[in-house]
Amino acid sequence: MSGPEPTPAPAGGAIELARRIREREVSARATVERTLADIAQRNPDSNAFTLVTGARALAQAEAIDTALAEGRALPPLAGVPFAVKNLFDIAGEVTTAGSRVNRTLPAATGDAVLVERLTQAGAVLVGALNMDEYAYGFSTENSHDGPARNPHDRRCIAGGSSGGSAAAIADGLVPLTLGTDTNGSIRVPSSLCGVFGLKPTYGRLSRRGSFPFVTSLDHVGPFARTLEDLALCYDLMQGPDRLDPACAQQPAQPVSDSLALGIGGLRIARLGGYFEAFSGPVARQAVTLACDALAVTRQCDWPMAAAGRAAAFIITGAEGGALHLANLRQRYDEFEPLSRDRFIAGCLTPAAWYQRAQRVRAVYAREVARSFRDADIFLTAATPTTAHPIGTETIDINGQAMPARPSMGVLTQPVSCIGLPVLAAPVPVPGELPIAIQIIAAPWRERDAFRVAAALVRAGVCRAPQRPTL
């Protein structure tokens, strides 16, 4: 079911690769050429990429090599390939957002803000990545572009909606990718593919130039194979954007320097109740491994988690449906079957339901805020189970049969709907496909989440597992 084993990435990932390019151990052009060759060879198996920007990438690589030859200082990610979910604008390309409808739109006139910031940092864009249509899903089983396949088992889903973003990292095609997270779309694929992913605080990173799904819930964030790469990528993208009304107008708060601080003074608790009830055996084992490594004994509950998830469902459907109403009326058959009926249902949501859902969300946020009086970090699983085969309709969670596609977000949705920062950290469980935990911090406290993740990496509990030879 799989293609050839990926070319091993240089030890240390993006940071190490940038060092090698600066020190002329390898050229930027050779790096990009290798990346493009790997994509051409293995993407038919993974289906992570839906667009390759080869000419742009080679031109940028040539410019980096020229700058180095002339003795000019290079930015921190010079020559490092990256790719983005296909809802970020790429100058000269159509932003499809995984849809057929969008393919009739004009090409983007410029890059999305985060693409622009990473490019300014020297990173080389090599393409756009597979996703659920309009980001509405947790599996990336896209009817137009085909499913993204999990590098650890090509028969299985990569998760969604940023499935291509996680699969490309896990398959060793690129060391950095970008995705979005409305209800879990960074954390779910991070978990199922076994890579690090970050959903920052709502409003931390600019969304300008990304195709929206649910304006009041959409987040953007990075994926990486190493925690150090994730931290640096995040740091380079931070900063206010006055043209994005949702972006917080506050200075950057770098996290890379927090990785060596340890966890002294941090109060860490395990989430029980709702989160334990919807965590399967492997998910619970992953959380236990992390808690044991950190000597966590405290357990807490968020009693309104189920209500928060229900509110997020209503808000998602109503805002998503309203966004696409005109096209649903005129081009219904061009939407994929997995999403169009949910969009229609969202269009029919009574205004009173939406208003009540927003009120419930606000009350729930206040209740969770109180929980941070007793803890600084909460731990729980990112997905209820490991990846299941593509096409699966029902999954079992602790003896309860549940619909597969929406249920992969059962543990992420109650967290994202109140905008908390979450770091998804892979915890290998022997004999099992990848799974990750959520490291949940208080608003604007991403540094705390990175401190905990770094401690787990040092303890040997958190790491991105190697893709097996299948």
**Selected catalytic residue, list 46, 99, 139, 161:** 161
Per the DSSP assignment, residues forming a β-bridge with 125 are: 82
CA distance 401 to 275: 17
Backbone angles phi, psi at 110, to 5 degrees: -160, 175
What secondary structure does DSSP assign to 43-83, as a single string? HHHH--EEEE-HHHHHHHHHHHHHHHHTTPPPPTTTT-EEE
**What residues contact residue 66 under an 8 Å CB cut-off, 6+ apart?**
none
Q: Is 161 among the catalytic positions?
A: yes
**Selected catalytic residue, list 85, 139, 199, 416:** 85
Sign of the torsion formed by the C-alpha atoms of 433, 467, 192 and 160: negative
Q: Is 165 among the catalytic positions?
A: no
The residue type at 382: A
Q: What torsion do the CA atoms of 299, 417, 311, 398 make, to the nearest 10 degrees?
A: -40
Q: What is the chain's length?
A: 470
Per the DSSP assignment, residues forming a β-bridge with 389 are: 156
Q: Is residue 48 within 8 Å of residue 162, measured between CB atoms?
A: no
Instruction: Give, in degrees to the nearest 5, the angle at Cα 347 between 343 and 351.
Output: 140
**Selected catalytic residue, list 46, 139, 185, 407:** 185
Backbone angles phi, psi at 453, to 5 degrees: -60, -40
CA distance 449 to 226: 15
**What residues contact residue 201 under an 8 Å CB cut-off, 6+ apart?**
248, 419, 420, 421, 443, 444, 446
Q: Is 143 among the catalytic positions?
A: no
Closest to 379 measured CA to CA, from 259, 293, 257: 293
Q: Which tokens belong to 379?
A: 């731990």
Q: Which tokens belong to 269?
A: 């608790």
Q: Is residue 269 within 8 Å of residue 296, measured between CB atoms?
A: yes
Catalytic residues: 85, 161, 185
